[in-house]
Amino acid sequence: MQELEDIGSMASLAAWDEQTYCAVKGREARGQVLATLAAIRHERVVDGAYGEALDELATDGDGLSDDQRAMVRVAKHLHDREARLPADLVRELAEQASRTFRAWLDGRESRDFARYAPELERMLALKVQEADALAYETRYDALLDEYEPGMRTSRLEPILHGLRDELVPFVQRVLERPAPDRSFLDGPFEPEAQLALTRRIVGEVGFDFEAGRQDLSAHPFCSSPSKRDVRLTTRVYDSLEPGALFSSLHEMGHGLYEQGLAARERTAIGRAPSLGLHESQSRFWENQIGRSGPFWQHFLPIAKEAFPAQLGGVDADRFLRAVNRVAADAIRVDADELTYNLHILLRYELERALIDEELAVADLPAAWQAKMEAYLGYTPRDDVEGVMQDIHWSSGGLGYFPTYTLGNLYAAAIGERMRADIEIDEHVAAGDFAPILGWLRERVHSQGFLLPAEDLMQRVTGEPLGHAPFMRYVRAKFGALYGVE
Amino acid sequence: MQELEDIGSMASLAAWDEQTYCAVKGREARGQVLATLAAIRHERVVDGAYGEALDELATDGDGLSDDQRAMVRVAKHLHDREARLPADLVRELAEQASRTFRAWLDGRESRDFARYAPELERMLALKVQEADALAYETRYDALLDEYEPGMRTSRLEPILHGLRDELVPFVQRVLERPAPDRSFLDGPFEPEAQLALTRRIVGEVGFDFEAGRQDLSAHPFCSSPSKRDVRLTTRVYDSLEPGALFSSLHEMGHGLYEQGLAARERTAIGRAPSLGLHESQSRFWENQIGRSGPFWQHFLPIAKEAFPAQLGGVDADRFLRAVNRVAADAIRVDADELTYNLHILLRYELERALIDEELAVADLPAAWQAKMEAYLGYTPRDDVEGVMQDIHWSSGGLGYFPTYTLGNLYAAAIGERMRADIEIDEHVAAGDFAPILGWLRERVHSQGFLLPAEDLMQRVTGEPLGHAPFMRYVRAKFGALYGVE
């Protein structure tokens, strides 16, 4: 298990480096290296003697600690799942991921979906093979389970649709209201000063920069070669939002979770039970804390010191409205808390149709546009604003998108529960984040993968997964900001 | 073979990252990851079926190309060598390397050899085990062969001593002459401007920054996760020398060699035949080119633009004398071309005594001091200036040091031969490095490990390895600079 974790650590570092410091001409070789690592990892995960040992421990777990029992459960699930995959397919998938990623970059640069489509088709064909080999009830289940172990389409879809049915009319009412002024967010804000402010805020909230770092990349992400070496990335523009700050608060949420897993480093349970749960932490810190009044009550004076000309005349209320502006817009990663979930719904429906071979890659741009118009009333100007905006499918990450919405739902449930326990607003307004981080550390981070995601959340929040806490949260927050019910 | 190269690539990246961007608290986990990689690599190198296949191909190589024959020779040498090492020892060595490295850092920081000594003793005990398991004629041979395949102590030592016997009296005569003024090199020179100038010069000489990069680290090195992703590191002080520039020219020499191996990427012969030959390239570019009159005829005006206040009144002759100042000083990496080899001789004699268990780690500081006084007439102020100045032993790199002097000898022989073919000085003075790099690419870089080091050099220079070309080179250069014979 430790060797598997070490190989994962290596892959994490290699992928981080690919997106931060890797030389342009070295990317192809990096793809081969990542494929070799994936092949070595797979070989060890499906090893027969390892599988027998796990079977034995799962059947007769006498003398195992709770942690060890959980390790066996997690490792056995992975072994049983991957044992169904041919080794050649694993390597092909990894190699194709690098090719499709490069074609995606190429397609974006030339603003030409046709440069991307052939490699995406090859990737999709491999994902169909993978899903069929995994042999879940549906192909989509097979893919979803990689990111959200235990989740099934039959459970997910009603939740997404229930959310949609309440959310769409609420978004409509918000969008009918006058949009708040956000022009001051365009600055320009000096990039170096943005990064310095970001680093200060992220550090004050509780990210340990001796056990992590922050670098620049085209697309922000969080990667952890070790739980004591957690790497955030961000990108910086002339604007404050979109910009380095809120994307960093998001990645910091992931990073705090990873740093909080340090006690279980190098074990199969030294990880989040699901990506949705991981995302709950980034959403919680970015949105519920980072886009809240008390947060800017504390940090706006500090931001004004860094940017007196740009922010001098902006009060906390105006700032708050600006960074919570709801808009029917093109780009998922820049979307507000309300429309974000509609971006996800669109992707979920498209990727499900792709994997079920009900939608051809060639028809994807048109299908994308149609759904954007239906859910958001927005028509993308081109495919860079449309189907080529996300990296996920290029690396084979079908089944990943729903975890973002699950993250929003979990975050809302966590926030509701935490608010019953501690005075969040008072602590945040005082710049005292330790009680909040401590609450999360104790109940969520330190639990690792002892329990599956839904079980852990049931225990933390006292409620089953659903969209109700999220709708209560956004109705309260955006209702107040926009004066709607 | 490709998988082995990929694992090597990964290890190279992980080690680079450990010294550049790895979070402080993540270093321990990095050590474990590197140990796991070493174990996986070893497991594959010594694999029985792989060994049989290599045996078969070595016995009956009909139908193999020259390249393939060489690959089999190189891979089989490695297989046969490593098959003698127990897997546990390989892992222990890798794990101990991280521990000893951390103890070395600790010892340096506290300026206390006693903090370093216990881990160095453990490392030495493992190296003795390793050398005995490898079962060469002498223990030192076993270690030397890792870095300088085919070289033996019985051949090396007479060369080192022959060099010493001619060099020591020559150094004495040089040191009796008045030392040139080097005070202007202390600047201060703004670090950012030094790095910009360095990057410009390194790029103009021919390093491809799309297939590589340069970062900062405590100790300069060159690492290549891919031949198209070659990473130089440097460090920068207020002074120009020691500083970023010449250390970068040195690492650039390694980097140009690596980039020149790209055609054989992912094969067992996509590497230098020995570290000595690798070092010949760094020495050649740093010293024979970078510390030559024509080089500064071309670059001094450019350097003056970057540093008008510091260099405005310095002419090329004064600059050249300053950067070729010979001094009996403490630190190997800052040593001039003449005394450098005496630093190496000292280390060679000490590490041979260590591995033969004729010298105890506890007695190392005193032995170091005695030899420094004997060869260089210099007494180290403390162990940071003495035995703790080099990283090598901390990572188990005994047998490595002689490759530096072999590099100097090879570089001199290469320079002499190249000078017979092309007008080096004219090209350098014109800033036209392509003919020089082209000559090296054709005769050295593109050859990879087709031939062992001495065979390749015999073909390139027409002469067997010896110290004569080096002595001719330094007598001519330093004889002129210092007015001695």
- Amino acid sitting at position A149: P
Query: Which chain A residues are closer than 8 Å to B12 by Cβ?
Result: none
Query: The tokens of B164 are what?
Result: 């010493």
A:B CB pairs within 8 Å = 125
The answer to whether the Cβ–Cβ distance between B208 and A17 falls below 8 Å is no
Tokens 């529960």, located at residue: A417
Query: Which chain A residues are closer than 8 Å to B6 by Cβ?
Result: 32-33, 36-37
Query: The tokens of B33 are what?
Result: 């990851």
Interface probe for B, chosen from A5, A208, A228, A264 (most Cβ of B below 10 Å), is A228
Q: Which of B82, B92, B251, B416 is catalytic?
A: B251
Q: How far is A370 from chain B (nearest CA, A)?
A: 40
The CA distance from A14 to A8, in Å, is 10
The CA distance from B161 to B174, in Å, is 20
The answer to whether the Cβ–Cβ distance between A6 and B212 falls below 8 Å is no
Q: Which pLDDT does position B98 carry in this prediction?
A: 85
Per residue in A163-202, is it b (16+ CB within 10 Å) or e — as a string? bbeebbebbeebbeeeebebebbebebebeebbebbbebb
A223 phi and psi, to 5 degrees?
Answer: -140, 145
Q: Which pLDDT does position B28 carry in this prediction?
A: 87
A417 phi and psi, to 5 degrees?
Answer: -70, -40
List average pLDDT for each run of 10 residues in chain A, which is 485 residues long: 95 94 92 92 96 96 94 97 95 90 94 98 98 97 98 97 95 95 96 97 98 94 96 97 95 98 96 98 98 98 97 96 96 94 97 98 97 93 95 95 98 98 98 98 98 98 97 97 92
Minimal-distance CA residue of chain A relative to B212: A23
Q: Which residues pair with A222 in a beta bridge?
A: A232
Strand order in the sheet with B222-226: B212-216, B229-234, B222-226
Q: How far is A246 from chain B (nearest CA, A)?
A: 23
Q: How far is B132 from chain A (nearest CA, A)?
A: 28
Query: Which chain B residues are closer than 8 Å to A261 by Cβ?
Result: none
Query: Which chain B residues are closer than 8 Å to A227 by Cβ?
Result: 29
Query: Which pTM value belongs to this model?
Result: 0.92
Considering only CB atoms, B29 lies closest to which of A36, A210, A229, namely A229
**pLDDT for residue B219 is more than 90:** no
The answer to whether the Cβ–Cβ distance between A26 and B226 falls below 8 Å is yes
Minimal-distance CA residue of chain B relative to A32: B6
The CA distance from B276 to B294, in Å, is 26
Q: Which of A251, A258, A279, A454 is catalytic?
A: A251
Q: Which pLDDT does position A485 carry in this prediction?
A: 79
Query: Which chain B residues are closer than 8 Å to A265 by Cβ?
Result: 29
Q: How far is B87 from chain A (nearest CA, A)?
A: 14
Query: Which chain A residues are closer than 8 Å to B17 by Cβ?
Result: 13, 17, 225
Tens digits of per-residue pLDDT, B347-402?
999 999 999 999 999 999 999 999 999 999 999 999 999 999 999 999 999 999 99
Neighbours of B346 (CB within 10 A): 20
Q: Residue B387: which residues within 8 A CB-CB, separation 6 or more?
A: B113, B364, B365, B368
| CA angle, A87 then A93 then A98, to 5° | 135
The answer to whether the Cβ–Cβ distance between B225 and A36 falls below 8 Å is no
Q: Given CB atoms, is A38 within the 8 Å cutoff of chain B?
A: no
Distance of CA B247 to the CA centre of its chain: 11
The answer to whether the Cβ–Cβ distance between A26 and B229 falls below 8 Å is yes
The CA distance from B248 to B228, in Å, is 18
Mapped onto helix, strand or coil, the DSSP state of residue B58 is helix
Minimal-distance CA residue of chain A relative to B4: A36
| CA angle, B218 then B224 then B226, to 5° | 150
Tens digits of per-residue pLDDT, B86-108?
999 998 998 899 899 889 999 99
**How far does chain A reach from its first CA to its final CA, in angstroms?**
52
Sign of CA dihedral A474, A475, A478, A481: negative
What burial class does residue A485 get, using C-beta atoms within 10 Å of its C-beta: 0-12 exposed, 13-18 middle, 19+ buried? exposed
Q: Which helix (H) or strand (E) holds A4?
A: helix A2-20
Query: The tokens of A38 are what?
Result: 């994936």
Query: Which chain B residues are closer than 8 Å to A22 by Cβ?
Result: 225, 229
Query: Which chain A residues are closer than 8 Å to B24 by Cβ?
Result: 210-211
Query: The tokens of A416 are what?
Result: 């509701």
Interface probe for A, chosen from B30, B213, B214 (most Cβ of A below 10 Å), is B30
Interface probe for A, chosen from B19, B24, B27 (most Cβ of A below 10 Å), is B24
Q: Residue A383: which residues within 8 A CB-CB, separation 6 or more?
A: A107, A111, A112, A113, A365, A368
Q: Given CB atoms, is B216 within the 8 Å cutoff of chain A?
A: no
- Write the DSSP assignment of A21-54 as a string of letters: T--GGGHHHHHHHHHHHHHHHHHHHT-HHHHHHH
Q: What percent of chain B has pLDDT over 90?
A: 96
The answer to whether residue B258 is catalytic is no
- Amino acid sitting at position B365: P
Interface probe for A, chosen from B7, B9, B215, B265 (most Cβ of A below 10 Å), is B9
The CA distance from B419 to B427, in Å, is 11
Q: Which of residues 420 through 439 in chain A touch B, CB cutoff 8 A?
A: none
The answer to whether the Cβ–Cβ distance between B25 and A210 falls below 8 Å is yes
Distance of CA B403 to the CA centre of its chain: 7
Q: How far is CA B206 from CA B209, B252, B323, in A?
A: 9, 9, 22
Distance of CA A130 to the CA centre of its chain: 23
What average pLDDT does the segment B441-465 reach?
A: 97
Q: How far is B210 from chain A (nearest CA, A)?
A: 6
HSE on the CB side for B397, CA within 13 Å? 17
Q: Which helix (H) or strand (E) holds A229?
A: strand A229-234
Contact B43, A239 (CB under 8 A): no
The CA distance from A69 to A449, in Å, is 11
Q: How far is CA A283 from CA A337, A419, A455, in A?
A: 9, 16, 20
**pLDDT for residue B50 is more than 90:** yes
Query: Which chain A residues are closer than 8 Å to B227 by Cβ?
Result: 29
The answer to whether the Cβ–Cβ distance between A6 and B32 falls below 8 Å is yes
The CA distance from B31 to B92, in Å, is 11
- Amino acid sitting at position B412: A
The conformation of residue A287, written as its DSSP 8-state character, comes to I
Query: Which chain A residues are closer than 8 Å to B36 by Cβ?
Result: 2-3, 6-7, 10
The answer to whether the Cβ–Cβ distance between A21 and B213 falls below 8 Å is yes
The conformation of residue A336, written as its DSSP 8-state character, comes to -
Instruction: Please write down the HEC assignment for all residues of B394-449.
Output: HHCCCCCCHHHHHHHHHHHHHHHHHHHHCCHHHHHHCCCCHHHHHHHHHHCHHHCC
Closest CA to B335 of B388, B409, B385, B398: B385
Q: Residue A44: which residues within 8 A CB-CB, separation 6 or more?
A: A3, A4, A7, A50
What average pLDDT does the segment B461-472 reach?
A: 97
The CA distance from A368 to A350, in Å, is 8
Tokens 């102020």, located at residue: B381
The CA distance from B47 to B432, in Å, is 48
Minimal-distance CA residue of chain B relative to A39: B3
Contact A219, A273 (CB under 8 A): no
Neighbours of A88 (CB within 10 A): 9
Q: Which residues pair with A226 in a beta bridge?
A: A229
Q: Which of residues 5 through 24 in chain A touch B, CB cutoff 8 A?
A: 6-7, 9-10, 13-14, 17, 21-24
Mapped onto helix, strand or coil, the DSSP state of residue B98 is helix
A428 phi and psi, to 5 degrees?
Answer: -65, -45
Query: The tokens of B337 are what?
Result: 């071309």
Q: Given CB atoms, is B263 within the 8 Å cutoff of chain A?
A: no
The CA distance from A382 to A368, in Å, is 11
Q: How far is A215 from chain B (nearest CA, A)?
A: 10
Q: Residue A93: which residues within 8 A CB-CB, separation 6 or more?
A: A38, A126, A127, A130, A396
What burial class does residue B45 get, using C-beta atoms within 10 Å of its C-beta: 0-12 exposed, 13-18 middle, 19+ buried? buried
The conformation of residue B363, written as its DSSP 8-state character, comes to G
The answer to whether the Cβ–Cβ distance between B28 and A228 falls below 8 Å is yes
Q: Which pLDDT does position A91 carry in this prediction?
A: 87
Distance of CA A312 to the CA centre of its chain: 34
The CA distance from B122 to B384, in Å, is 20
The CA distance from A285 to A408, in Å, is 11
Minimal-distance CA residue of chain A relative to B39: A3
Q: Given CB atoms, is B212 within the 8 Å cutoff of chain A?
A: yes
Report cis status (omega within 30 of 0) of the bond before A242: yes
Considering only CB atoms, B13 lies closest to which of A14, A25, A226, namely A14
Q: How far is CA A223 from CA A227, A295, A460, B272, in A?
A: 9, 26, 26, 34
Contact B212, B229 (CB under 8 A): yes
Closest CA to A156 of A172, A168, A169, A138: A138
The CA distance from B479 to B473, in Å, is 9
